[in-house]
Amino acid sequence: MTDYVLAAGATASWTGTFKATSAVSFTDVAAGAQFHEEISWLAAQGISTGWAEADGSRTFRPLQAVNRDAMAAFMYRLAGSPAFQAPAKSPFADVTPSTQFYKEITWLASKGISTGWVESSGTKTFRPVQPVNRDAMAAFMYRFAGSPAFTPSAAFTDVPAGAQFRKEISWLAGSGISTGWTEANGSKTYRPLQPVNRDAMAAFMYRYNQKYGQL
């Protein structure tokens, strides 16, 4: 087009900063696999790089449970990898400055997203290589969102009043981040004490970002 003329005072050029995305693809997550779109998004955002295998390929291991240290790393990256100076002394007795994902774990603690456990000795532990259960995942996501005010509802038949993290699980359902399972009798269950698989974790984070935005 040669006869286009900018109006007086119009902007003729633009500058911007864009976050580079990863071109990682996983050989164990085929097109059409459950949560393929969500896992691909997770990779493109650099939230997960998966594993480099001996043959040079990358795998995601979608049906493997997510450990608590990896969850800390995922949430830190979902937040945009904010500037954070990890403390010289760990707040957890089982996490040292040389522990994998130390920065991410201590960031999680500094934000109140995880409080860990108080042991009988009075020390606090994080249990970094323990799988994350689905009820704890709901709590992490709720706190990550800033613990918004809302009225809990009976979303799932296996999460009764008084259950641990019922409020957080109800929020997860109300936000559309988790739909749970539809059982044979038509009821909905959440399976709170079941470990979170990596594919489901990708779906939770994708839906959170779609609704609330972060990256």
Same domain, 176 and 146: yes
- Dihedral of CA 34/35/40/42: which sign? negative
**pLDDT > 50? residue 7:** no
Structure tokens at 41: 């998004």
Looking at the predicted structure, is the pLDDT value of residue 6 above 60?
A: no
Whether 125 and 136 share a structural domain: no
Mean pLDDT of 178-196: 94
The pLDDT mean for the chain works out to 88
Regarding whether 108 and 69 lie in a shared domain, the answer is: yes
Beta strands (DSSP E) in the chain are 51-52, 58-59, 117-118, 124-125, 181-182, 188-189
Domain boundary pick from 107, 131, 155: 131
pLDDT digits (tens, 9 = 90+) for 48-57: 989 999 999 9
Work out whether strand 117-118 and strand 58-59 pair parallel, antiparallel, or are unpaired.
Answer: unpaired
Residue type, 51: W
Q: Do both 126 and 185 map to the same domain? A: no
Q: Answer whether residue 120 is part of any domain.
A: yes
Phi, psi of 67 (to 5 degrees): -80, 160
Domain that residue 155 falls in? 132-204
- Polymer length of the chain: 215
Summarised one tens digit per residue, pLDDT across range 92-108 is 999 999 999 999 999 99
In a domain, 187, yes or no: yes
Residue 3: pLDDT band with limits 50, 70, 90: very low
Q: Flag whether 114 is in a domain.
A: yes
Residue 181 domain-assigned (yes or no): yes
- Residue 118 shares a structural domain with residue 138: no
Number of domains making up the chain? 3
Q: Do 149 and 199 sit in the same domain of this protein? A: yes
Is the pLDDT assigned to residue 167 strictly greater than 50? yes
Identify the domain boundary among 111, 131, 151: 131
- 194 in the same domain as 143: yes
| Within a domain: 197 | yes
Of 62, 86, 116, the domain-final residue: 62
Co-location of 37 and 90 in the same domain: no
